[in-house]
Structure formats: structure tokens, C-alpha cells
Structure 1
């Protein structure tokens, strides 16, 4: 049987998967596609130059062993780097690189009309009349890389953030889009990147702003007929950090002005950093031309922290506050609060306070009381894991069966309902939902949601399933 690019790469992936952690495999190898096999040279397509550089730096030996097993000692690996560029409807930019050649790959340069700078600049962050551009960065220095602990759940985003901080505007991930659910550290990481840039590149003008404030400023500039001043101000920024960019949804005027500001900054080698509660593919009511720019650089997702990372976060808080606590208490809190970093921090701080103010010894019993009250008193952040448990219990299935490849009708429907409710009740991306429910892709999740919608309107029994589960999940 003759070998194909796909069969060779699938065999390589099988070997690689057995030799690295699951999260690393999902982050660095699942997005790769096989392209071509010529003689002993396998071509693979990676999403960005950043991917290529990371693979070469961290996994080149593993790739060499895997490829040699498949193609022999003379095996070669070639990269094709896909970079999206929607200007003039041109095709995606690709470039072929031998695995030992680190030549730079740049997107095509294009011209976009911009408004000329006005020397009489109006700066919304300094007192009018004072001519200086020492803009207050609006950064919170308490948010740093030092207290943003690395784990499998955030390694890609944190590594990309560090690279941007070292060389703002000079990497292939511009813009850097950090996305994920509530309380996972998007804002912390955005501030940390800005703080690091200010420290390493004091000559750079850095500005952090929420999309909501950006929108309010734009509306005010339209009212006062100072729209050009607004644009000119933002064209001065070297590093623009916009938090919660999904807030621009449906605001066509603000999207239009941001589109032109983005183009100007990007063309002039300035860095743009964005945060969002969802991936570009899941954003609603955002213009396609703007979404295409969000995809130019790197989109990095923050996941729920794993157990080891939760332990590290708790120990870091205790060390910071000079508090000692038994290991079993730390482990109990880490095991019982899984949803996000914010809740984890809140729980341990509440426990410290209870112990300190009431002069109680920190025991497992006290930890149980505090954690239970804390979880009850906050609005529940429903997770994909929680949804799968509710649905598995309802249909009397185990979670392994729910996530399995079986095509039995009752299991398929339960799985589709899990995807449907995960999309409804969580802010996870479709890709993230699919990966947590049996390692499916985002297209499978989308199909499941459409199927559930159709069955609700045509099948009474199925509608009862949905109503029952809705009640259980909204309790």
C-alpha cells in the first residue's frame, strides 16, 4: 500500500501523542494539516510563523524521530505557513520553509486609506491644552507575569504574551487575541503584557482600555464633531490593548472606526492585543472585514485551570499573604472549586479571613463550611463538565459512554444535548466544547445544536427532555 501525506502524518501523530502531554498535543499538533508527500519530504501546514518557530524550538527532535520511523533516515519536513489576508479577495499567503531555515515570513503589504495626523492633537487621557503625549497607560501593575502562574490551561496564551512583551509589533502574532470564559485571567494577562512592555520598552506608548469605554469615547467624539481627533489619538499608540472586544458587537460605527485604527497600527508595526469571551469564529454581529483581521495573528484560548495549576495558584496566594496552611486544606479547596481562577482566589481568601477574624484554626471542617457557603453565595458558573454530569445522570449513562464514538441513537441524542446546553449556558468556544465532549470539532457541535433545535419543534418526547434538563441546569 503506497503511503500518502495524510497516512504518514497520522502515523507520526499517533507516535507523538504517546510521547507528550495531552494538552500540549491538542495545542501544537491538532491544528496541523498534512499537505503533500514527495519522495522523502512531507509538507505540513501550520497556522502561523509562531507555530513553526515553536515546533522547531520545542519539538524538532520528536518530529525527527516520528518522521524517520515513517520515511527513513533521509526524511525531510517542510512547512507551509497559512496567513489570512482578505484584502482585494486575494488567496491566503503561504510560504514553504525547509525545517532548518528560519527565514522571516511576512504578509503582503497593502495600502489602506488613513486620516492624516493633526498636530493639534486632543488626547482624552491628559488635560486639554497640555502638549505632551505621555499617555497614562491605564495599566494595573498588580497584574504581572510573576503572579500569572503557568499551566497546561494557559501555556499557549502566556507564552505568546511573553513573546509580544519582548518584541511588541515584531512577531507574527499581531494581533494577539486572548479568549476564554469568565474569571480565567484574560484581563490579568492583558495587563501583564502591557506592564512587561512598559518595563522592557519604556519608549513605547502603551494604552489599556475596555471596548465599552472605547465605544463611549467614540460616541462622545461624534457628538462633539471631534471624530478625527479621536482617530488621531489612537494612531499615536504603540501598543493598544482592548479588553472585551466582543462588546463591539452590533455597533457598526465603532467597528468602522476601530477597523481604520487597527489598519493604521498594524501597517506601521504597532502591536494590538485583544481579549474576548469567545473565539472569532463564535463572535456575532462583528463585521467580517474586522473578524478577518482578528485572525491575522494568533488566537489563544484560556481554559479552566487543571488540578495542579489550581494547587499552584492557591500556594502562591498563601505565600503572597504570608499565610501557612496544611496541605490537605489546599488540596480540598483545589478539588472542590474548579470553574475559574477568580472563584478559587475568592474561596481561599474567604478561608483566610474566617480563620483570622474568628480566630479559628484552619481545619477541613472549616474549609468545607467556607467552600460550601462560598459556592452557594456566588452565581454558579455552569461548566461543560457539570452539564455532562447532569445529562449523564438524567439518561442513566456514564460520562465515558456519553463521550464515546458509539452511534446508538439514545447516546447520540444525549451527546447532542450536552453540546447544545454547553453552548447555551457557557461561554466556551464551539471548539472548546467539542474537545471536552469526546474530542469533537466545532462543526460537530454546530450540527448538534441545529439538530436539537429541529427536534424540539418536531418531537414531543425530545422537547420534554430539553424542558427537564433546562430546569435542572437553571436551578
Structure 2
């Protein structure tokens, strides 16, 4: 019996048998990756992992201290066995590199679901991971909240860790807080040594550099040092560099030196595949009809969808009930994307046709004149954002063969929004008019 198994036996004696059987027994201790200051366990799904982290991590650390004299950091990962981190090099990463990287080991290229909405970003991220500092440096990944930017960012990091490289992942907020702390303590040499001696720097949410003049100055020099040394830099943002207000020109130009890749909201097939993959990884069993219901009724934020899956699994376990379609509908009814239940597509068509001087019948027709196509795209965009209708339902309304045309229309209008501020203002005005008009009829 190894030390981890002994600790679990000690814990069993301290807690109730029912809770132990449900949450603790599935835990697997990994003696090969654990050290005196780090104890690694694997849980069968993310719900169990989070439960143990919040409720038992401190107790486990204390029991280790009693057993070994050293209080380790308790790490709970999702999986049934030790992950194969050796990669193509055939060696395990340096433990120091792993500790400093602060990466989620479940964020890999294998666990990322690829669809037309994220194909380009995935391909470029993979290329950077395989040949860092060569072709696309920096790599700038941008897109909306919860679409997978952080997953791709950390997948690059995990890939390079497997090649025993020094990887640093940080959010811009963490970078800024460390910068301020070292300025106050007069230890900027340590700060610069930390960030400028890595092989790969991963920065999440770079848009928060906006109007942070001192942080921008420091990041400018850090960027130059790494880039001149041939080290890879990857950043994520919720918008393109040119859309980040208060960003100095010299930084904006450097962000655009390499390659920019965007991630669009996932189409229906990709959302279904993502849900199925997350269920597989977290040990959650859902019937196809439930998966399809979640995919068609939830929004595009993948993190929200993941939270929904965790909630379903948790409620099922706590209530000791199977997850049926009715169970799922009742459990997540408050999370379903119903921004305005009383808004219909007909309401939107009526207002858009009035404002843009286009006949309602033309918007629903197959006409391809420029003004009609523009009005139709706007209606589709507002219907997707102001009503609970899924893409297949919107496609049915317009008599389209399937949801693919809706997906293309959404992608096109998002591109226009990114590049045309006036059009963005028009969308906001139309959206407000639709919401105001429908509220008056309540």
C-alpha cells in the first residue's frame, strides 16, 4: 500500500461511509507523478474533482503531514489513469516546468472539438505548438467569451511541456498584479527574469492591457526580448488588436506581426460533438435527445454548457435519479437562453423591414438583392440573440434546407460588426427597438 492509499484509508475513518463511497473511493493516487510537496489524485469526473478540492483538499494535506511530516499541495485531476505527458520526446516534463506553467492538463489538442467555426484557430495553434518561434510569432487568437480560446492557448503549452520546455501561462491580470507587486518591492529584476527566460509565453485576455500605460511599457520590452530571442508568444483576446481601445500603436503593430486567428460561435454539429466529448471525459451519460436539447437550446458559451453538464450530473447524483429529458428540462430551465420569451421572429422582421424600407415578404423570400440580403442577415442575427430559437428553427422559418445557412449568415455579420462600427451601432439600435416594442405589448 503506497502513501496515498494510506491517506485515503485514514480519511475513510474520519468521514461517513456514504460520502466516502460516493466521492472518495473512486479517487486514484498517482505515486509516479506525486512528490513530497505535491500529491496527485485522479477523479472520475469534474464534479467529483471539484467537490473534493473544495471540501477535502485541506484535510488530505493535513493527513499527509501527519503521515510524512510534510504538508503537500493536493492536486485533483480528471481521468482514470496517469496521462501520457511524454509526447513525442519520450521523456516526462521537468517537474519545475510543470509547476511554473500553471496549465490545466485536460486542455489538450485531443480534447478540443474542431468544427468550421474554429478550424483555422485550431490548425494555426497546432502548427505553433509543433514549430514554436518559427512561422507565426506572435499568434493572436481572438473571439467571444467561452468559445475555446483558453483551451487552445493551454493546449499549446501542454504540448511544449511534453518537450520539456519552459512554459509560462498567465492572464494579463496576473501579469499586471505581479508587475505592480515587484515595482513596490523594488524587485523588477526578478520579475523580468521570470518572464523573459521562458521558451513559450502564453498570455490570456490581453485586451485588459487597455489604458494600462506602465504595464504596456513593461510588456512591450518583454515582448521584444522574447521575440528577438526566437521565443514563441501566444495571446488571446475577445477582440482584434485594432479594436482594443487605449493600446499604444507600437504594441498593436507587434500583436499584428505574426498571425491572427479568430474563433466563431460553434455550429450545431460542433456543439453536439463538444457536449458528447465533455460527457465522455467527465463520465456523464446522456441520451442523444438530451444532448440535442442542450445543444439547440443553450447559447454558444462552451463554459456555460460545461457548467450545465456538471449541474445535471450533480443533481442526478444528489437526488439519486437518472437523467431523463424531462429531468434535464426541469433542471436547466432557468439557464436556457430565453432573453426575451415574448420576442418572435415576426416581431423582428416587422421592425427591421420598417427601419430598412424592405418588404417583410422579401426578407423571407429567396431574393438576393443587396438590401434584402443585408436585412435578412440582420433579422437572423437578432433572432439568434433576442429569441430562444435555435439555428435549425430559424432556418425552418426562412424555408432554408438546414441550419448551415444560418451559421454562415452569423459568421458574415460578425465579420461586418468587427470591421464596421456604424453597422454595429445600427444593430444595437435595431435590437433596442425590438426589445422596446415587445415590452410595450406585454
TM-score tier by shorter-chain length is: 0.5 to 0.7
Q: Is the 8 A contact 2:352 2:375 kept in 1?
A: no
Match of 1:137 among 101, 104, 114: 101
Mapped partners of 1:233, 1:303: distance in 2: 34
Compared with structure 1, are the counterparts of its residues 276 and 433 closer, same or farther at alpha carbon in structure 2 (3 Å cutoff)? farther
Q: Is the 8 A contact 1:402 1:414 kept in 2?
A: no
Compared with structure 1, are the counterparts of its residues 403 and 284 closer, same or farther at alpha carbon in structure 2 (3 Å cutoff)? farther
Offset at 1:228? 3.9
Offset at 1:337? 1.5
Pairs aligned (count)? 315
Q: Is the 8 A contact 2:172 2:209 kept in 1?
A: yes
Deviations 1:131-152 (A, max 9, x none): x985711212122222211111
Q: Which residue of 2 aligns with 1:223?
A: 184
Q: Is the 8 A contact 1:419 1:445 kept in 2?
A: no
Q: Which residue of 1 aligns with 2:125?
A: 161
Q: Does 1:446 align with 2:421?
A: yes
Point out where structure 2 has 5 or more consecutive residues left out of the alignment. 1-94, 354-359, 386-406
Q: Does 1:183 align with 2:130?
A: no
Offset at 1:306? 1.2
Give the TM-score taking structure 1 as reference length: 0.57
Mapped partners of 1:312, 1:395: distance in 2: 34
Q: Which residue of 1 aligns with 2:198?
A: 237
Point out where structure 1 has 5 or more consecutive residues left out of the alignment. 1-131, 424-431, 454-462
Mapped partners of 2:218, 2:366: distance in 1: 46
Offset at 1:214? 0.8
Alignment of 1:33-432 (within 5 A): 136-170=100-134, 172-199=135-162, 201-202=163-164, 204-375=165-336, 391-392=348-349, 394-395=351-352, 397=360, 405-407=369-371
Deviations 1:272-315 (A, max 9, x none): 01011111121111111101111111111111111111111121
Mapped partners of 1:133, 1:320: distance in 2: 27
Mapped partners of 2:419, 2:133: distance in 1: 36
Compared with structure 1, are the counterparts of its residues 404 and 359 closer, same or farther at alpha carbon in structure 2 (3 Å cutoff)? farther
SS of aligned partner of 2:100 = coil
Mapped partners of 1:419, 1:364: distance in 2: 29
Compared with structure 1, are the counterparts of its residues 233 and 449 closer, same or farther at alpha carbon in structure 2 (3 Å cutoff)? same
Offset at 1:391? 3.8
Mapped partners of 1:470, 1:287: distance in 2: 37
SS of aligned partner of 1:250 = coil
Offset at 1:195? 0.7
SS of aligned partner of 1:272 = strand
Mapped partners of 1:368, 1:242: distance in 2: 38
Q: Is the 8 A contact 2:126 2:156 kept in 1?
A: yes
Offset at 1:329? 1.7
Mapped partners of 2:290, 2:383: distance in 1: 33
Q: Which residue of 2 aligns with 1:103?
A: none
Offset at 1:471? 4.5
Mapped partners of 1:387, 1:259: distance in 2: 49
Mapped partners of 2:171, 2:378: distance in 1: 35
Q: Is the 8 A contact 1:310 1:344 kept in 2?
A: no
Deviations 1:43-87 (A, max 9, x none): xxxxxxxxxxxxxxxxxxxxxxxxxxxxxxxxxxxxxxxxxxxxx
Q: Is the 8 A contact 1:419 1:437 kept in 2?
A: no
Mapped partners of 1:331, 1:175: distance in 2: 38
RMSD of equivalent CA atoms: 3.9
Q: Is the 8 A contact 1:433 1:445 kept in 2?
A: no
Mapped partners of 1:327, 1:420: distance in 2: 29
SS of aligned partner of 1:284 = coil
Mapped partners of 1:403, 1:438: distance in 2: 18
Offset at 1:232? 3.2
Compared with structure 1, are the counterparts of its residues 285 and 390 closer, same or farther at alpha carbon in structure 2 (3 Å cutoff)? farther
Mapped partners of 1:321, 1:439: distance in 2: 32
Offset at 1:446? 2.2
